[in-house]
Amino acid sequence: MSAKVKDSVPKYGIFGPTRQLKHGIDMSKLSHADGAEMEFYTEELTDNFGGLLVGDAYFDTPDMMKCSSVFEDLASDNDSDDSSLPTFERLRLKMNDVTPCGSVRKIILSEGVECIVPAGSKVALHYHGFLEDMSEPFDSSYLQGKPVHITLGHGDVIPGLDLAVATMRKREKSRFMIEPGYAYGALGCAPRIPPNAQVLFEVELLNFSEPSVLEECVNEEESSSRPTFSKVVIAAKAERMEGNELFNQGSYLKAQRKFMRCINVLESVHLKNDDEEKEMFRVVEKAYQNMSLCALKLGNYGKALDAARRVLENSPDNAKALYVAGKSLRHMGNFGMARRYMLRARQVQPGSGDVRKELKLIDSTEETARKAEINMCRNMFRG
């Protein structure tokens, strides 16, 4: 990679993009500017950047035992034939290039399974981050006790780590040596990372989920190139099918989210003519119907009723929507409206056993509620 391309690599903080300063800042001007009141507390910082913070180590001593094996592996390289070389240089010689210019290098510690993580995937990983000759990692998800979740290619981490993870497989554990241009750059990231620092990451890829077709369409919608209506419909249908599979597996909340995403994208799509509008309503209606069933299973009867009514706006004789609306209203205690919806469902599907059963439940539940109300009133007057 040419120097020009390398210099164009964006500079990042530990997580997320930052802007690199081109000129120094005069603190006295900032603190005494008109209309501004600023204070800077610097007593705990040392003059020597390499000293980091004065006082205790960043991680507690018991926590450091969790990465003792990493330190042992790094120390074992001191016994190699190249012991005269710095530790990172010895490790680097054993690694393979990830980038053409060699700014990111890799060695696999434990092989993974399945395919290499696809671009744009959502990834769960654990990591240790090391500077050369430090007695502890400068950052570690292991020591913080929870994995990190990122989306590849979205700038969630430094560029070198993003490129590194993109070469891994599920359950793989690898080490990566990353040059400053792909890490924290000429400024570093105070107070933990000094300027122009080469960093070593040990990464374990726990799991990943591939980006859905619908997410790709959403990304295109947000960019200058608007996706075609037919492409959005195909993606929305695929999302709805994923929701159907989740529903059949009993994952009603996840299925409901799939249907909601399908609806949100289609209802915001740009329509050119009546045919596209009819197709949009047709797909959205099915998604609302499926979402009403999810809400019913989850006991969210208000949401189930709302979704069923959205279906009935365009399809007043939809038997499933009438059934869901009636059943939801029974659970909400509105027996009169519940009976109207269910009687309408019986007119549309006179042979439905589910509808007959629900009508009996409406009658029995209403009678039980009526008796309970009478007893409550009697007890009140007895007192």
Q: Where are the domains of the chain?
A: 3-21+57-209, 213-365
Residue 54 in this model has a pLDDT that exceeds 70: no
pLDDT above 60 (res 40) = no
Pick the more confident residue, 340 or 86. Answer: 340
Q: What is the pLDDT of residue 229?
A: 84
Q: Is the pLDDT of residue 68 over 70?
A: no
Tell me if 332 sits within 8 A of 302, measured CB to CB: yes
What is the Cβ-side half-sphere exposure of residue 170, based on CA atoms within 13 angstroms?
Answer: 10
53 vs 77: which has the higher pLDDT: 77
Comparing 71 with 152, the larger pLDDT belongs to 152
pLDDT at 164 over 70: yes
pLDDT at 291: 94
pLDDT digits (tens, 9 = 90+) for 237-289: 888 888 898 899 899 998 998 899 889 888 878 888 999 999 999 999 999 99
Give residue 48's pLDDT.
41
pLDDT at res. 69: 60
User: Which pairs with CB-CB distance under 8 Å and at least 24 residues apart come from 324-333?
Assistant: 324/289, 324/292, 324/293, 324/296, 326/358, 326/362, 327/296, 327/358, 328/296, 328/301, 328/302, 328/304, 329/301, 329/305, 330/358, 330/361, 330/362, 330/365, 331/299, 331/301, 332/301, 332/302, 332/305, 333/369
The two structure tokens encoding residue 28: 């006295």
- What percent of the chain lies above the pLDDT cut of 90? 43
pLDDT at 115: 86
Q: Average of pLDDT values for 32-59?
A: 47
Looking at residue 114, its pLDDT comes to 84
Residue 93 CA, chain-centre distance (Å), reads 36
Summarize the confidence of residues 30-53 as an average pLDDT.
48
Instruction: Record the pTM.
Output: 0.48
| CATH architecture label of 213-365 | Alpha Horseshoe (1.25)
What number is the average pLDDT over the span 182-193?
88
Mean pLDDT, the chain, integer: 80
Q: Which residue has the higher pLDDT, 111 or 223?
A: 111
Q: Looking at the domain covering 3-21+57-209, what would its CATH class be?
A: alpha beta
pLDDT of residue 332: 93
Per-residue model confidence (pLDDT) at position 228? 80
What is the per-residue pLDDT for 328? 95
The C-alpha angle 208, 209, 211, rounded to 5 degrees, equals 135
Report, as an integer, the average pLDDT of 319-339. 95
pLDDT of residue 313: 92
Is the per-residue pLDDT at 45 higher than 60? no
Higher-scoring residue by pLDDT: 320, 134: 320
Q: What is the pLDDT of residue 252?
A: 92
Q: Can you give the pLDDT at residue 168? A: 95
- Alpha-carbon span 175 to 77, nearest angstrom: 14
Does the structure show a pLDDT above 70 at 74? no
Maximum Cα–Cα distance across the chain: 97
Q: Above 70 in pLDDT, residue 23?
A: no
Give the pLDDT score at 91: 87
Structure confidence at residue 159 (pLDDT): 92
The pLDDT-based confidence of 361 (bands split at 50, 70, 90) is very high
Which carries the bigger pLDDT value, residue 135 or residue 354? 354
Decide which of 122 and 161 is more confident. Answer: 161
Kindly indicate the confidence band of residue 342, based on its pLDDT and cuts at 50, 70 and 90: very high
Percent of the chain with pLDDT over 70: 73
